[in-house]
Structure 1
Amino acid sequence: MDSIDVKALAKINIGLDVTGIREDGYHEVRMIMQTVNLFDKLTISKTDDGSISMKTNLRFLPLDDDNLCIKAAKLLINEFDIKQGVEINLEKHIPVAAGMAGGSTDGAAVLFAVNKLFNLGLSRKDLMDRGVKLGADVPYCVMRGTALAEGIGEVLSPLPPMIKCPVLIAKPGISVSTKQVYEALDSRFDTVTHPDIDQLITDIKSKDLHALCSHMGNVLEEVTIPMHPIISDIKQNMLDNGAVGAMMSGSGPTVFGFFEDNKTARKAKEALTASGMVKQLYLTTLFNTVNNR
């Protein structure tokens, strides 16, 4: 095998709570992570000259060590003293800087691909252990599915698959600084409302979409939405057009909505398109099956 094609799937947060601040500055979290069928496409090919290079369809993305794809490739190639190199071709579709782990999932996909290309024999757990060196979300992006994430996001517990339903994903034409969001949270940590993550787990197990949507919560909404009120407007637009529930993912600005049926979801997509509030809009489904990329 000289080349491999892989899909890097995006994630949303069905619940996100920040429970504390560590001495090293990292935040302790409890999150319910869910993979969705929105993905970047990567082709990873062997090179004989030992170089590690990258191409992408987005001109503004870094193509050096600031990109997790390059870091992921170097991590395994250096560890196993591989003499060949790789060329990475990334076709980006997941919104950038959107709270959907777009960079982390690309890095996870490269770990998976390099392991396969060079027959390294690493298990999924082995790749997850290495992924945490790249970022807190990378181990989850290797695992995928429905999971409880704790610690700084790297302590993962698989959960039963989410109930199947259409999901509408909308990103306005703004960018959000995760650093600024967490700094704002730190300044008012004792006054924010924390979601009940345990109740959400119960709702997932009972496959009750209405109960789950009534209990969804993201503690970061309380600081991100005042900075960017359009997030609230998009949520309300989804709810007005039939979403059972809608919430911001991660630190934002992406908003997702859950729907009972495709017909309602399609009409909501049309309404949101007509509103002019969003730059990127996708109607997709939840990814519940662990399989090959």
Structure 2
Amino acid sequence: MIVEPAPAKINLALHVRRRRPDGYHELETLFVFAADGDSVTVVPDATDRFAITGPFAAALAGAAEADNLVIRAAHAFRAAFDIAQPHAITLDKHLPIASGIGGGSADAAATLRALAGLHGIAPDDPRLFVIAEALGADVPACLLGRATLGTGKGEALLPVEGLAGMPLLLVNPGVAVSTAAVFARWDGEDRGGIAADGDLLARALVGRNDLQAPAVAIAPAIAAVLALLDAAAGVRLARMSGSGATCFALFESVAARDAAAARAAAEGWWTLATTLT
């Protein structure tokens, strides 16, 4: 049995440069990862089985199983490595659905890592990254699982020095935002790339999330979350992640993070108090 973590993905900055001929958008983004998130358990079995547990399991219950990225990752893995062995896979779902923190992408990446470990395949095998890119723009970064500068559609990855141990708070106002709808509202203006110099936090601070304004237009509750985080004591950076609606804040101390988490929870919002890895 392999139990593989599927940590939340955070975009410290997300610059949209242009729309590509293939329908994706040319991006520059700073990926980092939380210490917590979902998890995927894989065991050999006589037949293929898939189950979802956890607080957000019900949100996926009505979706077609074939559409789940975990199942797609498992099928692609078996085809790529010519493996006949069936597996029982359990997804323990703790991250909100369609929330901008890479839940589905992280789950797919964790599935690939777990299956690779189970079958003695190196975690850096290039075939895993080919599968990951086919599954979605964020899946390669989640497969790598460390601080990186992502370019292209997000799949071209350059590792950078991270912010391991920095207190992190994730807050979601309880709304799911369609990535396609958010991109459709982007104004198309290229406001420039991510700063090339400075440490990771400095580069993030002078950056932005070009999808934040269109996401707020779709889900105004995001603005309320950001206002609370911006006003929190000890906050170093507060911003929306990905296409929303989850927002994040980096803090100077655990105490400051936990105080902000208590205020956000009092609003009835989903919160995750954690750290960066």
The TM-score normalised by the length of structure 2 is 0.91
Query: What does residue range 201-212 of structure 1 map to in structure 2 within 5 Å?
Result: 202-204=198-200, 209=201, 211-212=202-203
Query: What does residue range 107-118 of structure 1 map to in structure 2 within 5 Å?
Result: 107-118=108-119
- Write the letter of the residue equivalent to 1:24: D
> Which residue does 1:143 correspond to in 2?
144
Higher Rg of the two aligned structures? 1
- SS of corresponding position for 1:126: helix
Q: Is residue 2–residue 42 contact of structure 2 (8 Å, CA) maintained in 1?
A: yes
- SS of corresponding position for 1:161: coil
- SS of corresponding position for 1:20: strand
- SS of corresponding position for 1:140: helix
Q: Is residue 56–residue 92 contact of structure 1 (8 Å, CA) maintained in 2?
A: yes
Give the C-alpha shift of residue 197 in structure 1. 1.1
Give the C-alpha shift of residue 163 in structure 1. 5.8
Distance of aligned partners of 1:20 and 1:212 in 2 relative to their CA distance in 1, 3 Å threshold: closer
- Partners of 2:123 and 2:208 lie apart in 1 by 36
- Write the letter of the residue equivalent to 1:183: A
- SS of corresponding position for 2:65: coil
1:215 aligns with 2:206: yes
> Which residue does 1:173 correspond to in 2?
174
Give the C-alpha shift of residue 275 in structure 1. 2.9
1:56 aligns with 2:52: yes
- Write the letter of the residue equivalent to 2:195: D
Give the C-alpha shift of residue 159 in structure 1. 0.6
- Partners of 2:223 and 2:148 lie apart in 1 by 26
- SS of corresponding position for 2:59: coil
Q: Is residue 195–residue 203 contact of structure 2 (8 Å, CA) maintained in 1?
A: no
> Which residue does 1:261 correspond to in 2?
253
- Partners of 2:98 and 2:213 lie apart in 1 by 19
> Which ranges in structure 1 are unaligned for 5 or more consecutive residues?
288-293
- SS of corresponding position for 1:252: coil
Q: Is residue 166–residue 276 contact of structure 2 (8 Å, CA) maintained in 1?
A: yes
Q: Is residue 69–residue 110 contact of structure 1 (8 Å, CA) maintained in 2?
A: yes
> Which residue does 2:3 correspond to in 1?
5
1:249 aligns with 2:241: yes
- Partners of 2:133 and 2:203 lie apart in 1 by 29
1:156 aligns with 2:157: yes
> Which residue does 2:276 correspond to in 1?
286
> Which residue does 1:16 correspond to in 2?
14
Distance of aligned partners of 1:236 and 1:212 in 2 relative to their CA distance in 1, 3 Å threshold: farther
Cα deviation per residue 1:20-74 (whole Å; 9 max; x = unaligned)?
11122111101111111122122101113xx332100213313622011111111
Q: Which of 202, 221, 224 is equivalent to 1:230?
A: 221
- Report the number of matched residues: 271
Q: Is residue 166–residue 284 contact of structure 1 (8 Å, CA) maintained in 2?
A: yes
- Write the letter of the residue equivalent to 1:177: S
Distance of aligned partners of 1:184 and 1:68 in 2 relative to their CA distance in 1, 3 Å threshold: same
> Which residue does 2:132 correspond to in 1?
131
Give the C-alpha shift of residue 164 in structure 1. 3.8
Give the C-alpha shift of residue 130 in structure 1. 2.2
Give the C-alpha shift of residue 181 in structure 1. 0.7
The percent identity for this pair of structures is 33
Give the C-alpha shift of residue 6 in structure 1. 1.0
Distance of aligned partners of 1:63 and 1:133 in 2 relative to their CA distance in 1, 3 Å threshold: same
- Partners of 2:252 and 2:203 lie apart in 1 by 13
Q: Is residue 128–residue 140 contact of structure 1 (8 Å, CA) maintained in 2?
A: no
Give the C-alpha shift of residue 263 in structure 1. 1.1
Cα deviation per residue 1:237-274 (whole Å; 9 max; x = unaligned)?
11222122210000000010111011111111112222
- Partners of 1:122 and 1:54 lie apart in 2 by 23
- Partners of 1:203 and 1:226 lie apart in 2 by 32
Q: Is residue 4–residue 45 contact of structure 1 (8 Å, CA) maintained in 2?
A: yes
- SS of corresponding position for 2:77: helix
Q: Is residue 70–residue 108 contact of structure 2 (8 Å, CA) maintained in 1?
A: yes
Q: Which of 30, 33, 36 is equivalent to 2:34?
A: 36
The TM-score normalised by the length of structure 1 is 0.87
- Write the letter of the residue equivalent to 2:211: L
